[in-house]
């Protein structure tokens, strides 16, 4: 589904990733690492918000490295950014309509999301900027799912969210992964990430320092690999 080959990327003259590769054999891949390791940059390069200076992003066998993010979304990639991002001046419903517009099953997908996340139905007419962090994260995930993705890219989906909603979000991710959706996950909560992932990749200073199978990973070894 997704294959990342020798990607180098950064911001202006500052390089962040140095030849990162993720083979495309696993359905759910977790990317682990300390702050500043390059995890978010890797996800941004995958969805197209950062253009790699070198390397290739393959999706469904197609080279999408030069495609704009919205073209990647059309091809089946969805991205949930770090920090519970929503369009704060749009209502909850407008946030959902934005991605449902132009889809023949848009209304049905919105209804499905309101059923999956009842808080969103409750605050459908409220501006998204006035929702709590957890509700905004649910909205961000709902927006991504309306596009009926083949691959869901999640950047720290549980960061800064109250524990009860963290459990809900983790359950949703597990449910989606079990339903066959491919997931590329960056997560600080290592225990959950390893439980959810078939494979994991550890990044440190923009380089892959360890890869392995999620279920068999030792927490200690993973933590050691996070530090160069």
Residues that bind another protein (CB under 8 A): 47-49, 68-70, 73-74, 78-79, 81, 83-90, 94, 97-99, 101-102, 127-133, 136, 143, 147
CB of 49 to another protein, least distance (A): 5
CB 43 within 8 A of CB 185: no
CB burial of 118-139 (b: ≥16 within 10 Å; e: otherwise) equals ebbeebeeebbeebeebbbbbb
CB of 143 to another protein, least distance (A): 6
CB of 95 to another protein, least distance (A): 8
How far is Cα 53 from Cα 41, in angstroms, rounded to an integer?
A: 13
Nearer to another protein, 73 or 113 (CB): 73
CB burial of 201-211 (b: ≥16 within 10 Å; e: otherwise) equals bbbbebebbbb
Nearer to another protein, 39 or 136 (CB): 136
Nearer to another protein, 100 or 208 (CB): 100
How far is Cα 104 from Cα 107, in angstroms, rounded to an integer?
A: 8
Nearer to another protein, 74 or 218 (CB): 74
């Amino acid at each position: 589904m997704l294959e990342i080959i020798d990607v180098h990327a950064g911001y202006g003259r500052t390089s962040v990733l140095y030849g990162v590769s993720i083979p495309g054999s696993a359905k759910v891949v977790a990317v682990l690492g300390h702050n500043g390791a390059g995890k978010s940059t890797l996800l941004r390069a995958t969805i197209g918000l950062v253009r790699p200076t070198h390397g290739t992003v393959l999706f469904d066998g197609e080279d999408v490295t030069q495609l704009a993010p919205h073209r990647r979304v059309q091809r089946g990639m969805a991205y949930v950014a770090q920090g519970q991002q929503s369009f704060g001046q749009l209502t909850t419903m407008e946030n959902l309509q934005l991605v449902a517009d132009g889809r023949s099953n848009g209304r049905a997908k919105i209804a499905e999301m309101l059923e999956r996340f009842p808080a969103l139905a409750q605050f459908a007419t409220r501006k998204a900027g006035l929702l709590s962090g957890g509700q905004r994260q649910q909205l961000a995930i709902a927006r991504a799912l309306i596009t009926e993705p083949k691959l869901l890219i999640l950047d720290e989906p549980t960061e800064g969210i109250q524990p009860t909603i963290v459990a809900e979000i983790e359950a949703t991710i597990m449910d989606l992964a079990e339903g066959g959706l491919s997931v590329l996950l960056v997560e600080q909560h290592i225990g959950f990430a390893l439980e959810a992932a078939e494979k994991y990749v550890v990044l440190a200073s923009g380089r892959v320092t360890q890869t392995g199978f999620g279920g068999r990973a030792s927490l200690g070894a993973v933590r050691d690999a996070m530090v160069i």
